Structure 1
């Protein structure tokens, strides 16, 4: 596994950490807000925990210094390392939406369902989510706030659609909005925005309402977990909504033709490929594999089909 630590200062005492999911660079980003009460947003997978620990050490944050760990949602590429990080930083409070809190305290059911989906590659991709002492978990509801010290706050906003336990996080000082997966994935090499619509929670109208909520917050910058900072806020959120609609319409057509999942995915991939520069410009096999692991067409189509079946 490639465990080289990559830390990028983003201004406003915010540092992007490449958390190296499965050893890949540029696939999962965590963020350290180095305020009076240091806060780690999106610790990444269990396998990422040593990488994150090295980055925090480089930035002068020791075991007793980290005040909070916050996740946008409990999918394992975002929250799989929470238990490990909680052990490494025993003073840190863990903040998550109330619909995800019990899974961080007792992750057995979450891990069982993840193993059904990923099989043996689960260990390579994510590792094992360890339980966190429930007394250290703070569950937020539709809105909440994390004290960053010095009057600075990280404000949480419930933003389901990608997952029913998803929150966006707004920094009161910088105007940064941590979007998790609610705005899809951003590919920095090509500036593409692709939807993230995995089963079982994806819902189009809910996701679009969350994007509208993000627009209404008027953030200065979007910080994607996949991957990095984006300053073109309005345009990017509009593109995210457009991509969701395009994919859902394409899957509806495939479903109307009675196609099974694999054939539907092939049709959707063919129909949408010209929307993304990455299709033409990213030719390195490892990079292609990386983005397929992160944002596979089959997984997206399966999530949309599940949503369509639910509404039918």
Structure 2
């Protein structure tokens, strides 16, 4: 299948084809003794992910574990559907997200407030997962991949209060979710993901420091793909956060409303990203992945709490 890329170490990147786009959200299959899916993508992507797993030889009774880095709908919206396709798989999530996987009603209501009618085309509906199948992680935890191989989870809030990073003992791959921002392989651009309501600068920078300290061999971005320049990329993640926060703080101090703040930050960061100078489709994809309105709104929300 053209949406599967072998990354070595029995790891396969699956393009979940979110909202019909390619290269927006990746799921990863670790095909060890106990096959593990990291990130499900959206609910509407679940059949795409299932077909990819089938083509890799993983049948309904074979998937041992599904892990999500956090419960935002582009990462975990398909959990309920995937749990249905793979009745023996354990669903692993941070304890702060577990109840929303069991009962998604509040999560879906707030998502609908943010996205309105676009919710259905972008994400679809997160279906509930039987609570008995969910394993809630604390600050650290481990997933057994079989044959002594483990996926260790490390609590990494800042982007979301239910976010974990995951490191594979066999490959040194670190699944960074959204905590290191979003990466666009076509242009090598990296930009922060700071949506409301959980963004917090100090916590986000601490999570990047934690990722550095784990000494990964490779970063696997949910958006999108593998990066081997580990330390340089994490350095840049922190720098991007500081740039966006400094500019938004300036707008906030000048009393700008959200629209004016977004326009100012967009204007002053434009030169940082090759994607925005590329063709329209690439620019549109980058905005969908890490939209300036969502990023600035998240930082403004944090500033309002931090400096009322």
Within the alignment, does 1:148 sit opposite 2:149 as a pair? Answer: no
Q: 2:50 aligns with which of 26, 33, 53?
A: 53
- The Cα shift of 1:41 comes to 0.2
Within the alignment, does 1:298 sit opposite 2:293 as a pair? Answer: yes
**Can you list the C-alpha shifts for 1:217-263, whole angstroms capped at 9, x where unaligned?**
00000000000000000000000000000100000111111111011
Q: Report if the CA contact (8 A) 1:5-1:51 is conserved.
A: no
Report the counterpart of residue 260 of structure 1 in structure 2.
257
> Structure 2 length normalisation: TM-score?
0.99
- Equivalenced residue count is 307
Q: 1:307 aligns with which of 277, 290, 302?
A: 302
- The Cα shift of 1:287 comes to 2.8
Root-mean-square deviation (CA), in Å? 0.8
Within the alignment, does 1:18 sit opposite 2:7 as a pair? Answer: no
Q: Runs of 5+ in structure 1 lacking a partner?
A: none
Q: Could you tell me how far apart the structure 1 residues matched to 2:9 and 2:37 are?
A: 14
Report the counterpart of residue 181 of structure 1 in structure 2.
178
Q: Could you tell me how far apart the structure 2 residues matched to 1:212 and 1:286 are?
A: 33
Q: Report if the CA contact (8 A) 1:5-1:54 is conserved.
A: no
Within the alignment, does 1:9 sit opposite 2:22 as a pair? Answer: no
Q: 1:241 aligns with which of 232, 238, 241?
A: 238
Q: Runs of 5+ in structure 2 lacking a partner?
A: none
Q: Report if the CA contact (8 A) 1:105-1:131 is conserved.
A: yes
Matches within 5 A, 1:1-312: 6-280=3-277, 282-283=278-279, 285-312=280-307
Q: Could you tell me how far apart the structure 1 residues matched to 2:80 and 2:104 are?
A: 10
- The Cα shift of 1:277 comes to 1.6
Q: Report if the CA contact (8 A) 2:275-2:282 is conserved.
A: no
- The Cα shift of 1:293 comes to 1.8
Q: Could you tell me how far apart the structure 1 residues matched to 2:172 and 2:136 are?
A: 23
- The Cα shift of 1:292 comes to 1.6
Q: Could you tell me how far apart the structure 2 residues matched to 1:290 and 1:232 are?
A: 23
Q: Could you tell me how far apart the structure 1 residues matched to 2:45 and 2:2 are?
A: 10
Q: Could you tell me how far apart the structure 1 residues matched to 2:39 and 2:259 are?
A: 32
Q: Report if the CA contact (8 A) 2:42-2:123 is conserved.
A: yes
Q: Could you tell me how far apart the structure 2 residues matched to 1:192 and 1:25 are?
A: 17
Q: Could you tell me how far apart the structure 1 residues matched to 2:232 and 2:283 are?
A: 26
Q: Report if the CA contact (8 A) 1:18-1:28 is conserved.
A: yes
Q: Could you tell me how far apart the structure 1 residues matched to 2:186 and 2:290 are?
A: 15
> Structure 1 length normalisation: TM-score?
0.97
Q: Report if the CA contact (8 A) 2:197-2:298 is conserved.
A: yes
Q: Could you tell me how far apart the structure 2 residues matched to 1:191 and 1:247 are?
A: 18
Q: Report if the CA contact (8 A) 1:5-1:55 is conserved.
A: no
